[in-house]
Structure 1
Amino acid sequence: MRQLWFNPALNQSLRLTLALMAALGLAYPLGLLAPVALSMLALPAVLVSALDQPTPRWWPRIGVGIVGFVLTSGLTATLTHHMPALLPAWFALLGLVLGGLAAWGELAGRLGMGMLVMAVAGLATAPQGPPWLLALSFGACVLWLMVFSALWYRLWRHYPLRQSLAATYRTLAQILLDRPGQLRAQGLPVEFDAALGEQIGLCRQQLLAFGRQGDIAPLRNAFIAAVDLQERLQATPHPEQAKALFTRPDIYPLYRDWTRAVSVRLRRLARDLSQHRPLTSDDRHQAFAEPLIAALQPLAEAGGPRGMVAYYMIGNVRRISRLAERVAPLYQRDFLPLAAPDWRARLRSVCRWSSPVARGAVRLAVLLAAGSAISQHIGLNNSYWILTTIVMVTQSSYVATRHRVGQRAAGTFAGLVVGALLVWLGFRAEAALVLALLLVPVTLALRPIHHGWTITSATTLLVLMFEYFGVGGDAILLPRMLDTLIGCVLVFVAFRWLWPQWQGGRQNALRKQALAHLHRYLQRVLMAFEGKQVEPVLLARSRRLAYEQGISLTASFQQMKQEPGYRDEATSLALLTQYKGAMSQINAVVPFARRGVVLEPEVAERLRRSFDEAYKVLAATLEGQPYHWPPQLDEASSWLSGLLMQQQPNRAGFVLYQMALLLERYQRLSSVLAGQNGSSPDSPPEDGSPAQMSSHSGGTDRSR
């Protein structure tokens, strides 16, 4: 029962269902049952806008949402009563303005779509009473749902944050569990784990929403520990050497057993987080860490590239084991304050036709105007479902919209068939009402799982409710299906042929942003190796921004593969491979930067100059200039190889080893981009090892 109670989908369904039942229970003795039931049409807007999910500045966002819901629904209902001919122009204006809110981020974009849902609700309910009385009842319903949700979260001790953290730990456990098999098969995945990035981003938002409450400290530590785990799992000093090391017959069984033990511990933590159990230390997995470290130790002492990788992995095993044992961060740091949005820059971006947000807002305006005009002239009852379909299936990309269109159409058809079958079987009058009420929590529970199933349940519910009110049969079935099909066709045609924003067209901008963030991350690390003061929180933020850009590249690549006419898969995959490899190698040296490792001044200075020059080559290649790898960078590679052969076994030697690999990553990135532009430059060795480095260069750090 405890597991069912804290299931995210079931708990959300229970929360919202109890809130609606409580409102109806309070309204019944006051004789307000009908208007309160009608005001619950605001629930879809709450779900679309994610208004009930805690975020930074949660209550100001709720206030803006309620005001927007009241205004859009009230004005739309007023126009419906007095000037219905202006509705197409009104919905076009709403689509243009509210669609442009996406320039202020995902939350603002979702809030804009929620206001559009309320505008359609105002259109649908206009005949039911005075427009502004209905609009205010919608606002009161939303306020009640927000207050109820806030009390629910406080009663269950920050429930959304706990669920998000639990999902993060489950994902981390699965990544660690899959790692041995990946190393033994095709190697580590070249793409970033977008789901993990989204989960960590959601945890960060919710943690900022709950602020510095007294009982938040264990959850805050668990979040930072999860970020540290993510960084450790991303840190790979040399993927090919790591694969060769951990797939050795004497190492692989020990490594597999250790990953399984730590994965079990992480899943246990996920269970404790989600079910509100205290987070306690547990060192049972340490029994599997010690044999693995003992097996790696002789290889680390042997020196050479493999020895360096073994030395680093020993430290990584210890850090991951410690994080899993204590659920506490490796080092404490605070969150940087949220930056105030630059309103002028956002407005300028919305006003430029080159902006995807601007084109998306115009496309949405055209869609809503067309849907409203068709609704007025098609001659079917309840044809506002065309606008409902447009708002509900419109997503941020062609691929996501195409999937949602298919789910919406299939779910509507299935729901109509199931509803008609239930009515044929005898569910009429009170029986239809009871079954419809039972379907409310089912529909809410399905919403986070699958849109098609949600629509199937919701459509069945609507058929039963219309049957209860005596509006059944062809009066609802055929028009409902036809309106949905019209809306789906309009959206699909618009996203396919009306100013389509293909991911291939965004690639150059995404690559520029990603490489700029990656280089800024490296610059901060090199500043630390020069002996300059770099705050740990700034290093963590630079790593996060570079990681988020990797997720954007991955998401764009995944969508491009499903878009018509895509032909650039090899280049995109190669670029993503090199980008992720470069970030893994920077992550590998960050612990040494935080611990105060300082290189000799002339060495640190030359490294910084070399990487700045290499980044200039990358930037020029992205701009379409002919590829040319400067001779001074080849000299820098030779110089690094010479340093490695003379280097004593210490931490500085490992840092120089990673810098040599990283400089070749930069060259390979330039080569990939030049190949996209039509050049065919020579590429550095594909194994990622310094070309001129001998097998005895570098060594281990016995100073530990």
Structure 2
Amino acid sequence: MAGPSRLAPPPWLTAGLRPEPAPVPWAAVARASIALAAPLAVGFALDEPVSAALVSMGALSGVIGDTADAYRMRFYNIAVPQLFGALGVTLGSLVYGRGWLAVAVLTLVALVSGMISSIGSVASVSGLLLLLNAVVGAGLPLPAPWWKAPVLLGLGGAVVLALTLLGWPLRGGVPERTAVAGTYRAVAALFDAAGSDAYDARRRAVTTSLDRSYDLVLARRTRRHGRTPALVRLLAQLNAVIPLVEAAPAAHLAAGRLHRPVPPEIPTAVRDLAAAVEEGRTGAPALRLPEAARPSERAVDQALRYAATVVHHAEPDPYNVDDRLGRPAVLRVRVRRTARAVMMSEPSWRYGLRLALCIGLAQALVSLITVPRSYWVALTVTFVMKPDFGSVFSRAVLRAFGTAAGLVVAALLLAEVPRGWWDVPVMLVLGALIPAFSAKGYAFQTAAITPVILLLSDLLNKQGFGLVLPRLYDSLLGCAIALIAGYLLWPESWHARIGDRLADAVADTAHYVARAFGPETDGGQAVRVRARRALYRDLSAVRSEFQRALTEPPPTGALAAAWWPLVVAVERIVDATTAARVRVDHGAPPPDPSEVVSVERQLSELADGLRSSAVLVGVRAELLGDDEGVLAPLRQEVRAARAIASPHAEKA
């Protein structure tokens, strides 16, 4: 048994090759199948296969960008990137065959693409299409006149957009209501898990669901959002779940201490509220709740009754809805702020320069040596180097595996299927596989996209099976450039700053403890709620960063694995702080100020120790307080965090 284990590949290398347990998005599958195959059918009928291939390529870009849930965001996610894609293919076609001028232009486009990718999800897809289409325009002889290719590519995106928005008149607002109802159901599952080992995972699911719901609902904000009843009601219902989320840690600690689960009436009532949100029901709520005796029980009871009142109320006060972000500024102000933030952002410049370096090297290399399909090298670099898609190292490895698998399928199709009308049913099947496989992971998405691109490329240049091996060589060359110039040459890639990120989270937790039990200020409760929500969002980002680091080779992956338990411990500290605050709000004796100062000092020293990358000998102060006080669970979690951190600090 020992031999095979030594020969097995390391987990960080194979982590992305395991399919994610995600459901198949059947609606997206149908849209992709029709959007990619229908242009080919029309093109063959009109004897315009080249134009049809360009329309399908534009549709492929739309399919990749169709990732939003809300209809309004789907419109922006598809329409705005198509405009950038049209600009990119125009710039690329203007420098086609221009040698070093093409190298310079694509390098500059890569810099701009990388910098705007940091703004948000829509800008990220826009930057991707800007660079991808510029590379295609600079590498392929597109049909004249110059405006034909941008129009055809944009037409493909318009097909996807039209298919996507078919249900908007009948289902407008449904995704947002479904998301808010899903948050209530996640909270119900959280109460089901109170006192058990499953609680941590359920709490993370609540954080993810809450963030997603806020993002969807707030995406619909307008300057007159206070006069939009549907939006006001959704915001009120979403805000009403916050007290339940805050009461859950107290219920969890009480259930663990008393070895008694939360009464089933509690999660049942929360699920009833979820159904009311989803169905838009109003009227007097009918709650059957057990008697509340302890502070934690009173907190849950009060939060649940408040949520029921808000959910079943037909017309919430439009001026008593905290939308968490405030009303948006006018468009010109937001554009100016965004431009200033991008231009002054060190991460934006750092990523833009990395991407520009890799694209410049790829284009310079294919200008010096003969490569049959040179633009594939830069296309591979672009996909691998996307910062919001995951680790550069793991994406390079996964793209190599995915391309190899996709080429096997493409080779069979190019060798056995005659070109022409047979491409239509083949594209129906291949197009459907893209959304289905994309949900399973990046390697699977690459495997699904590769044969589609090869079949469309064959319609443009008619090389048949001869496309297969050049595609493999170019993909491997692009992965190598990304690994060397985009990963190994940048110390931040393999000297991960995960310790610094975790230290920042610990320091923020110390501030949260002080704020939770400090003197009351104006809007004290609201300030604490916002601080806790911001902290959970930051911890979610830290967790994502660590999960990304786990897919890196040593030493980054090893360090992430060593520090991972401390990430969990910090999340539990935040939970324990929230639980203590809730218990105090509902009748428990408040802690002595010296106890709060002691806990805050311990966490601050822990953060300083993580930043110093030394043994945590500086964490010396004793935790004051008795074992029965309201802060006893919090002190226990802080001790656990110190015990986890101390053995590993020297390695960081």
The TM-score normalised by the length of structure 2 is 0.75
Aligned to 1:459: 450
Report what 1:77 is aligned to.
93
Partner of residue 683, structure 1:
none
Map 1:470-485; keep pairs closer than 5 Å: 471-485=462-476
Structure-to-structure mapping, 1:200-279, within 5 angstroms: 200-211=210-221, 212=225, 213-217=228-232, 219-225=234-240, 227-235=242-250, 238=253, 242-246=255-259, 251=260, 265=271, 269=274, 277-278=279-280
Alpha-carbon deviation of 1:21? 8.1
What secondary structure is seen at the aligned counterpart in 2 of 1:127? coil
Distance 1:329 1:129, change over 3 A: farther
Determine whether 1:131 maps to 2:151.
Answer: no
- Which residue does 1:514 correspond to in 2? 505
Match of 2:311, SS?
coil
Aligned residue identity for 2:555: G
Partners of 2:150 and 2:483 in 1: CA distance: 31
Cα 1:537/1:454, change in 2 over 3 Å: same
2:107 to 73, 79, 92: 92
Task: Encode CA deviations 1:407-427: one digit per residue, 9 max, x unaligned.
Answer: 433333333333443455555
Task: Give yes or no for the alignment of 1:156 onto 2:178.
Answer: no
Q: Deviations over 1:67-90 (max 9, x none)?
A: 533332211110115x23222333
Match of 1:486 among 459, 462, 477: 477
Alpha-carbon distance in structure 1 between the residues aligned to 2:257 and 2:416: 65
Structure number with higher relative contact order (C-alpha < 8 Å, ≥ 6 residues apart): 2
For the residues of structure 2 that align with 1:364 and 1:397, how far apart are their CA atoms?
Answer: 13
Q: Tell me whether 1:11 sits opposite 2:27 in the alignment.
A: yes
How do residues 638-653 of structure 1 correspond to structure 2 at under 5 angstroms? 640-641=625-626
| Alpha-carbon distance between aligned partners in 2 of 1:513 and 1:598, rounded to the nearest angstrom | 31
Contact 2:240 2:310 in 1 (8 A): yes
The percentage of aligned residue pairs carrying the same residue is 20
Deviation at 1:93, TM superposition (A): 2.2
1:682 counterpart residue number: none
Deviation at 1:561, TM superposition (A): 3.7
What is the CA RMSD across the aligned residues, in angstroms?
4.8
SS of match in other structure, 1:430: coil
Partner of 2:128: 113
Contact 1:8–1:163 (Cα < 8 Å) also in 2: no
Report what 1:337 is aligned to: 325
2:406 aligned partner, one-letter code: G
Q: Distance in 1 between matches of 2:596 and 2:87?
A: 55
CA distance in structure 2 between the partners assigned to 1:559 and 1:470 by the alignment? 39
Flag structure 1 segments of 5+ consecutive residues without an equivalent.
Answer: 1-6, 301-310, 646-656, 680-704
For residue 57 of structure 2, what is the amino acid of its counterpart? Answer: L
Residue correspondence of structure 1 range 158-557 to structure 2 within 5 A: 158-162=173-177, 164-165=179-180, 168=183, 172=187, 182=197, 188-189=199-200, 196-211=206-221, 212=225, 213-217=228-232, 219-225=234-240, 227-235=242-250, 238=253, 242-246=255-259, 251=260, 265=271, 269=274, 277-278=279-280, 290=290, 311-315=294-298, 318=301, 328=311, 333-337=321-325, 341=337, 344=340, 346-350=342-346, 355=347, 357-396=348-387, 400-422=391-413, 426-465=417-456, 471-494=462-485, 496-502=487-493, 505-527=496-518, 530-534=519-523, 536-557=525-546
Are the equivalent residues in 2 in contact too, given 1:102–1:109 (CA < 8 A)? yes
Structure 2 gaps of 5+ residues are 1-22, 329-333
The 2-side partners of 1:345 and 1:405 are apart by: 30
Q: 1:45 to 1:570 in 2, by over 3 A?
A: closer
Amino acid at match of 1:347: M
Count residues with an aligned counterpart: 607
Check 1:194–1:599 CA distance in 2 against 1; reply closer, same or farther (3 A cut).
closer
For normalisation by structure 1, the TM-score amounts to: 0.70
Residue range with higher mean Cα deviation, 435-444 or 547-556: 435-444
Shift, 1:110, TM fit = 4.1
Q: How far does residue 548 in structure 1 lie from its aligned partner after superposition? A: 1.5
SS of structure 2 residue aligned to 1:131: coil
TM-superposed CA distance for 1:363, in Å, is: 2.6
Conserved 8 A contact 2:39-2:56:
no
Letter in 2 for 1:658: V
1:627·1:670 contact (CA, 8 Å) conserved in 2?
no
Q: Which residue of 2 aligns with 1:565?
A: 555
In the alignment, the residues of structure 1 paired with residue 418 and residue 312 of structure 2 have an alpha-carbon distance, to the nearest angstrom, of: 57
Contact 1:45–1:117 (Cα < 8 Å) also in 2: no
Q: Distance in 1 between matches of 2:48 and 2:464?
A: 29
Bigger Rg, structure 1 or 2: 1
Q: How does 1:549-698 map to 2 (within 5 A)?
A: 549-563=538-552, 564-566=554-556, 567-568=558-559, 572-591=563-582, 613=601, 617-618=605-606, 620-624=608-612, 627-628=617-618, 637=624, 640-641=625-626, 657-659=629-631, 661-662=633-634, 677=649
Amino acid at match of 2:470: P
CA positional deviation for 1:448: 3.4
Q: Deviations over 1:150-182 (max 9, x none)?
A: 564343123543554466566556555555652
Q: Which residue of 2 aligns with 1:101?
A: 116
